[in-house]
């Protein structure tokens, strides 16, 4: 069974540009989560989808971030326009149920904003 | 304002010895605790968890201890192996709105020397 995949693995952009990150969850997992880790700091929650609906987006830093999950399958996270402080590793995770079951994480996308 | 704190950024241990990773939390509403392990260029993977109704959970070489009164948990690895070298994240969840989103610490980098 394929795990959570993320694309691209790395992205280097200039301040003011737009970047779109993609996450493909494990097949059959209705729950999809986005997290971000700024270097050396904690992994911070951004938002949670249940199928195509946003269940919790309390962690989204500001309106420059837009997440979508059309059709309840893969998800995209767009940053527009990117700022220097957006640099970090963006992780996607998925789970089958909303419970204390552990979430399965993807390898992350390392975003560098210059 | 960190609710989950891992005060040791790194830990170095000799192969065969015990590794003890510590974690403190401040939110008394947390009732489920998890440890994740992360290798470079990979996402975190679930390692072991413990519910607040228990004070110990063991899985092979890994044991997690929970001290609710001290709001402290620890992960013991015995015996430590070079393949255990990774970043370990402590995480805690509270049943807020049914989303069970974990709050992560900053991680402790464990190096096990042969």
The share of chain B scoring above pLDDT 70, in percent, equals 96
pLDDT at A97: 78
pLDDT band at A100 (very low <50, low <70, confident <90, very high): low
Measured between CB atoms, which of B41, B51, B104 is closest to A42? B104
- The CA-CA-CA angle for residues A37, A80, A22, to 5°, reads 60
pLDDT band at B94 (very low <50, low <70, confident <90, very high): confident
List all residues 6 or more positions away from B57 whose beta carbon is below 8 Å from its beta carbon: B48, B49, B50, B63, B64
The pair of structure tokens assigned to B43 is 């996402």
Q: What is the full DSSP assignment across B30-63? A: --EEEEEEE-TTS--EEEEEEETT-SEEEETTEE
pLDDT at B92: 94
pLDDT in tens, B7-19: 999 999 999 999 9
Chain B residue set in contact with A, beta carbons under 8 Å: 2, 4, 9, 32, 34, 36, 41-46, 49, 51, 89, 93, 97-107
As a whole number of Å, the CA-based R_g of chain A is 13
Question: Smallest Cα–Cα separation from A23: which of A36, A34, A31, A39?
Answer: A34
Average pLDDT over residues B85-90: 98
Average pLDDT over residues B27-33: 90
pLDDT at A16: 97
For A16, what's the count of Cα atoms within 13 Å in the CB-facing half-sphere? 0
Kindly identify which residue of chain A lies nearest to residue B39, measuring between CA atoms.
A107
Kindly identify which residue of chain B lies nearest to residue A9, measuring between CA atoms.
B41
pLDDT in tens, A33-47: 999 999 889 999 999
pLDDT at B98 over 70: no
Cis peptide before A81 (omega within 30 of 0): yes
């Amino acid at each position: 069974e394929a795990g959570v995949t993320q694309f691209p693995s790395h992205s280097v952009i200039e301040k003011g540009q737009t970047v779109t990150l993609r996450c493909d969850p494990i097949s059959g997992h209705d729950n999809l989560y986005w997290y971000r880790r700024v270097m050396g700091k904690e992994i911070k929650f951004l938002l949670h989808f249940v199928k195509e609906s946003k269940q919790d987006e309390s962690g989204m830093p500001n309106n420059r971030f837009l997440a979508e999950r059309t059709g309840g399958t893969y998800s995209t996270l767009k940053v527009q326009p990117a700022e220097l402080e957006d640099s970090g590793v963006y992780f996607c995770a998925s789970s089958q149920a909303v419970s204390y079951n552990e979430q399965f994480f993807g390898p992350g996308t390392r975003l560098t904003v210059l | 304002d960190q609710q989950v704190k891992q005060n040791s950024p790194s830990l170095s241990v000799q192969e065969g010895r015990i590794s003890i990773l510590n974690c403190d939390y401040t939110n008394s509403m947390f009732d489920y605790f998890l440890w994740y392990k992360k290798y470079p260029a990979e996402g975190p993977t679930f390692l072991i968890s413990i519910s607040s109704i228990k004070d110990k959970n063991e899985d092979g070489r890994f044991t997690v201890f929970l001290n609710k009164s001290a709001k402290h948990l620890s992960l013991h690895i015995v015996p430590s192996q070079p393949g255990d070298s990774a970043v370990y994240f402590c995480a805690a969840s509270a049943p807020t709105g049914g989303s069970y989103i974990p709050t992560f610490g900053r991680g402790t980098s464990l190096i096990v020397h042969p």
